Structures are given as C-alpha cells and as structure tokens.
Amino acid sequence: MELSLARKSAWERLSAGEREQVFAFAEGYRRFLSEVKTEREAVRFALERAGQRGYVPLEQLPPGGIKPGTKFYLCWRDKVLLLGIGGEQGVQEGFRLIGAHIDSPRLDLKPRPLYEKGGLGLLKTHYYGGIKKYQWMTIPLALHGVVMLRGGRKIEIVIGEGENEPGFTITDLPPHLAREQMEKKVNEAFTGEDLNALLGHIPGAEEKEDKDNRVKLSLLKLLNERYGVVEEDLIAAELQLVPAGPARDIGLDSSFIGGYGQDDRVCAYTALEALLDLPFPPPQMSLVLLIDKEEIGSTGDTGAFSRFLEYALAEIAHRAQLGEFLNISRILSRSKALSADVTGGFDPTFENVYDRQNALFLGHGVVLHKYSGRGGKYEANDASAEYMGWLRDIFNNYGVIWQSGEMGRIEAGGGGTIAKFLAFYGLEVADCGPALLSMHSPLEISSKVDVYMAYKGYKAFFQA
Ligand code: MN
Ligand code: MN
C-alpha cells in the first residue's frame, strides 16, 4: 500500500509500448491544431471525422431510433456540436458527457474595421477573451471567418495560412522610441485600441478625388474583386485574426506541442477521439459536447449558459426508448460529466505565482480538478468527494496517469470553465484536462504525454 502520494513524471510511468502510442497520437493532434483555428472549423472537422465513423444526424433518427451503439450528432448553428452514442442502458438512467469549448482567445475585427492613416491601410480589432495584448503584436496573423453578403449569401474566408499567401500583423514601437512606453504598466502600455492590423498601402490610381482614403478605397476594391465584399458586409461578419501557420513540436526531445488554440481544442480533440474509438456500446449513453463562447463567459445562444443541452436532450429523449415516463430534468440529474478544459502548468521562471505543493506539472498526466475558480473558490464548481472518488477509481483502474492540485496561489488569480453551467442542470461535474504553459498566448505549450492521458482518461470515463 502506498501511504504517500508520489510525484513522478508520466514519461517514467508509461506501460510497455505506450510511449509509441503517445507520439503517434500527438501526430494527429498536431495536424488538427494546424488545420483548425476557429469554432466553426472545429465543428466542421469533428463532423467530418464522425461522418467517416458512421455518425448520423439526430434529426434523421425515428422515435425509438437510438439503440445501444447508435451513433448520432446534433449540429447547432455551425458553432456547437453534440455527438453521441447510445449506451447499453437507456438514457432514462442518465448519460455521461464530456464538454469542451472550441472557441479560443483571438482578435475579432470591429464592425467598421477598415481605415487609413499615415498612408497605411489598417484593420481595427476587438480582442476576444483574456489576452496579454503585447503577445499578439509583431507575429504573423491569419484571417479566418465568414461574411454574409447582401441577400444572404455566406462566404468563408481564410487568408494567410499558405506559405505563399499574404498574412497580417500588428506593429509595435522600436525600442529606440519606446522610452515612454517602457515606463508604463504593461496594461497601460498596450491597450485594446493599439491592436490594429496592417492591411496594405498601395494607393488606388482612380481615387484621386478622395485623397485621404486612396489606400482604403483600393483595399476595399480588392476585397470586392476577390470576395464580393462591400464595407457594409463587414458588419454581418465574424472575422478573426489568429496566429498564422502550423503547430509544431517543441523541444529537442519533441516532447511538447506548441500551437495556437490548445485552450481548449486539446480537450475537444481528445474527447472526440475518445468517443470515436469506443470499441463497443458504452454502459451509458456517451456524449461529447463541443461548445462555443467559453472565453467570454459562456454567454450567447451558442455558449454553455444557453439552454442548448436541454433542447438537445429533449430531441434525444424523443428518439430514445424510454421505459417509463421521464422528464428531462430527471435524466440530467442522473448524469455525470467532465468539464474538459485545460489549466495552467507550473512555470519555473515564475514560480512565485504557484503553491508548489499543489502545482500542476507538465508531463505528470492529465489534471483532475475538484474545483477551479478564484480566491475563496468563488465562481467554482466544487465537485463532491463522492464524485472525485468515483473518477479517481476509474482513472486508476484504467491505467490513466493523472494529477490534481490548483492552478496557482490563492491570491494569484484564477479562472472558470463550463463546469458550473453543466452543474446548473444537476449533473455531477469535475474539471479534467491537460495543463498548459503560456496559456492564452499565440503559442500555447502542452506535453504529449498529458494529451495522450486526457484521451485515455476520457475514454475510460465513457467505458467504465
Ligand atoms: Mn478553457
Ligand atoms: Mn481559456
């Protein structure tokens, strides 16, 4: 019997042959990260993967059509996706849900983004989610999103990902002229209004009559020629500037993955793969919820604070074989969930923000959090001892290497997840996901072994 809880690198605790699986799994994950940079792209990726594995639209199933092993999905406004597989038990016994968010911090274009100043054409942005603004300057950015043209035609735009495509960037002062800037507090030195992206600077020849807007007009002309867009269309658009280019391995031993949007698409990917790889119908209905808007407080019609889950469950119940009359709330109250989200890993360079005893280490396995939140556990979903015990036993029985603790010192800060919004329905919920370095930066870092253990843990959660 082990009396004390040891700390040991997961790399040293892998079973025979598992190291190869860790690296193989990371290949697929890295490709996914390179390809998927927005919530809409994440939904499309998951739909394609699920389609290949025989998942069908929930709407196509007749009443009673969900049987053990039936695979289905419900896509909501192109930004939310619920994937499910019927369990051995009927849904009246409850379900198991893994919820991950697929939105990430980024720079959205303002409704009227385009302007010209100093002979440069620029785009105004409004950042989305919590960012350290200076991290988004002087790096290559790509533009992803959709625009609604007049009359309802929707066009999709991705500019700046291909090697030979132009990209965008946000400029910063040279150190030579930054004396005043360097003396300010970081938050005052770099403000939201400073995040303006370069769009071009060739003046149009025919625009002579509007001499202060010759660059802007020639850029509008380009947008119109290439995409059919006029300035008013940008009001009915979701255009996001995100870090350009592919994700990559980091470290001489290739043990890390560096890439944009790992909060929280690492959990979206691992949860999706866990569901798709279930070898047989799980004991209970297994659901993966990929949800939007977590980074701005889970608000809006595509966020976890909406009643989408309730609606989806009504659609599911209608198609499940229910043995007795049941209402949706009762099913929800019998269900269990993991709020699959990342947390902050210990960064030795900034060690004073952590409680070393409770810090989370990259490479020590997937994190199982009893609670997140801020000082005083405010805004936290504080999971019960019973539920933590149940999860702990599953992870141990299935060889999942995991760790637990807190993100940082009590006074250092904190953060939330969708856990509390799932708990609102009466689900038992705990937070579970890999720890990251440089969270919310353009280049977030994960450990390949933690990513693999998230996948393994999520699969065990469904299978147990
Ligand atoms: Mn997150
Ligand atoms: Mn986040």
In a domain, 1, yes or no: no
Ligand 1 centroid distance, CA of 192 (Å): 21
Ligand 1 centroid distance, CA of 263 (Å): 5
Ligand 2 centroid distance, CA of 69 (Å): 33
Q: Is the per-residue pLDDT at 324 higher than 60? A: no
Q: How does residue 209 score in pLDDT terms, banded at 50, 70 and 90?
A: low
Residues 50 and 151 in one domain: no
Per-residue pLDDT at 325 = 56
Residues 421 and 296 in one domain: yes
Q: Is the peptide bond before 264 cis (omega within 30 degrees of 0)?
A: yes
CA distance linking residue 257 with residue 264, whole number of Å = 14
Ligand 2 centroid distance, CA of 416 (Å): 8
Ligand 1 centroid distance, CA of 270 (Å): 14
**Residue 113 CA, distance from chain mean position:** 25
Ligand approaching nearest to the C-alpha of 101: 1
Choose one of 192, 214, 243: the last residue of a domain: 243
Sign of the dihedral through C-alpha 329, 331, 336, 339: negative
Q: What residue ranges in 354-455 does DSSP mark as E strands? A: 366-369, 402-403, 428-433, 435-436, 444-447
Residues 401 and 280 in one domain: yes
Q: How does residue 152 score in pLDDT terms, banded at 50, 70 and 90?
A: very high
Ligand 1 centroid distance, CA of 244 (Å): 21
Per-residue pLDDT at 28 = 98
Choose one of 198, 218, 243: the last residue of a domain: 243
Residues 155 and 293 in one domain: no
Q: Is the per-residue pLDDT at 345 higher than 70? A: yes
In a domain, 252, yes or no: no
**Segment holding 100, helix H or strand E:** strand 95-101
How many domains is the chain partitioned into structurally? 2
Per-residue pLDDT at 437 = 98
Ligand 2 centroid distance, CA of 244 (Å): 19
Mean pLDDT of 232-256: 98
Ligand 1 centroid distance, CA of 345 (Å): 13
Residues 118 and 38 in one domain: no
Ligand 2 centroid distance, CA of 254 (Å): 25
Mean pLDDT of 70-81: 98
Residues 335 and 230 in one domain: no
Residues 134 and 76 in one domain: no
What CATH number corresponds to the domain at position 322? 3.40.630.10
In Å, what is the CA distance from 458 to each residue of 305, 326, 373, 430, 455? 23, 28, 22, 12, 5
Ligand approaching nearest to the C-alpha of 296: 2
Ligand 2 centroid distance, CA of 17 (Å): 33
Ligand 1 centroid distance, CA of 26 (Å): 20
Residues 296 and 351 in one domain: yes
Question: Nearest-5° angle of CA 82, CA 261, CA 254?
Answer: 115
Ligand 1 centroid distance, CA of 322 (Å): 35
Containing structural domain, residue 266: 10-104+260-463
Q: Is the per-residue pLDDT at 304 higher than 70? A: yes
Q: Which residue has the higher pLDDT, 209 or 323?
A: 209
Question: Nearest-5° angle of CA 328, CA 334, CA 340?
Answer: 100
**Segment holding 226, helix H or strand E:** helix 214-227
Average per-residue pLDDT for the chain:
95
Choose one of 209, 243, 277: the last residue of a domain: 243
**Segment holding 439, helix H or strand E:** none
Contact 454, 98 (CB under 8 A): no
Ligand 2 centroid distance, CA of 13 (Å): 29
Ligand approaching nearest to the C-alpha of 414: 2
Ligand 2 centroid distance, CA of 358 (Å): 20
In Å, what is the CA distance from 48 to each residue of 43, 44, 53, 101, 250? 9, 6, 9, 18, 28
In a domain, 81, yes or no: yes
Residues 94 and 173 in one domain: no
Ligand 1 centroid distance, CA of 343 (Å): 7
Ligand 1 centroid distance, CA of 53 (Å): 27
What CATH number corresponds to the domain at position 195? 2.30.250.10
Torsions phi, psi for 369 (to 5 deg): -100, 130
From 13-17, 45-49, 202-206, 293-297, the region with the lowest mean pLDDT:
202-206
Ligand 2 centroid distance, CA of 249 (Å): 22
Ligand 1 centroid distance, CA of 342 (Å): 5
Residues 313 and 354 in one domain: yes
Q: Is the per-residue pLDDT at 234 higher than 60? A: yes
Ligand approaching nearest to the C-alpha of 130: 2
Burial (0-12, 13-18, 19+ Cβ within 10 Å), 200: middle
Ligand 1 centroid distance, CA of 272 (Å): 16
pLDDT in tens, 393-427: 999 999 999 999 999 999 998 888 999 999 999 99
Percent of the chain surpassing pLDDT 70: 98
Q: Is the per-residue pLDDT at 323 higher than 70? A: no
302-318: b (≥16 Cβ within 10 Å) or e: bbbbbebbeebbeebbe
Ligand approaching nearest to the C-alpha of 129: 2
From 55-59, 146-150, 210-214, 274-278, the region with the lowest mean pLDDT:
210-214
Ligand 1 centroid distance, CA of 232 (Å): 33
Ligand approaching nearest to the C-alpha of 433: 1
In a domain, 253, yes or no: no
Contact 104, 263 (CB under 8 A): yes
In a domain, 249, yes or no: no
Per-residue pLDDT at 1 = 74
Residues 151 and 95 in one domain: no
In a domain, 371, yes or no: yes
In a domain, 4, yes or no: no
Ligand 2 centroid distance, CA of 104 (Å): 7
Per-residue pLDDT at 379 = 86
Ligand 1 centroid distance, CA of 341 (Å): 5
Report field, pTM of the whole predicted structure over 0.95: yes
In a domain, 254, yes or no: no
Residues 14 and 50 in one domain: yes
Ligand 2 centroid distance, CA of 37 (Å): 14
Ligand 2 centroid distance, CA of 286 (Å): 25
